[in-house]
Amino acid sequence: MITLRTARPGDLDAVLAFWQVAAENDNRPADSATAPENLLARDPEALVLALDDDTVVGSVIAGFDGWRYHLYRLSVAPGHRRQGIATALLEHAENRFRALGATRSDAMVLDENVTAQSAWWARGYRVQEDWSRWIKPL
């Protein structure tokens, strides 16, 4: 049975290992424990996990910076896809945002990740054509 809960500091090694298998990692700097540790310290409810017994099979970061509501790292283990886990994670995240007063949220999805785009589309998200993301490595 799949359960959802917020991540705890003791989960982070398993989360990082999970992201290596289930998340899109090709176009980003390598993950380190520092980023999710900082996330949990700043916003302990932001990282939501889907667990099959004690094994991480899904995740989403539902980040709130005090103004905007952002979704990152929606990932489901390859062997657990098409079972409603992504939908459950997004519903959990959206409910969190509504409780915080949100009227909309946004998600970052790679243009080449057609599988992910289908999941976002099915949940009611649409591409905002008039925006581009600008980044600068620090």
Q: 2-122: what fold?
A: Aminopeptidase (3.40.630)
Q: Which tops the pLDDT comparison, 29 or 105?
A: 105
| pLDDT over 90 at 68, yes or no | no
Q: Is the whole-model pTM more than 0.75?
A: yes
- Amino acid in the structure at residue 29: P
Those residues whose C-beta lies under 8 Å from the C-beta of residue 105, and which sit 6 or more positions away, are 62, 69, 70, 71, 93, 94, 97
- For the chain, percent of residues with pLDDT exceeding 90: 62
Angle 135-136-138 (CA atoms, 0-180°, nearest 5)?
Answer: 135
Residue 131, pLDDT score: 83
Residue 27, pLDDT score: 66
Q: What is the mean pLDDT of residues 7-12?
A: 96
The domain ranges of the chain are 2-122
pLDDT, tens digit (0-9, with 9 covering 90-100), for 96-117: 999 999 988 999 888 888 888 8
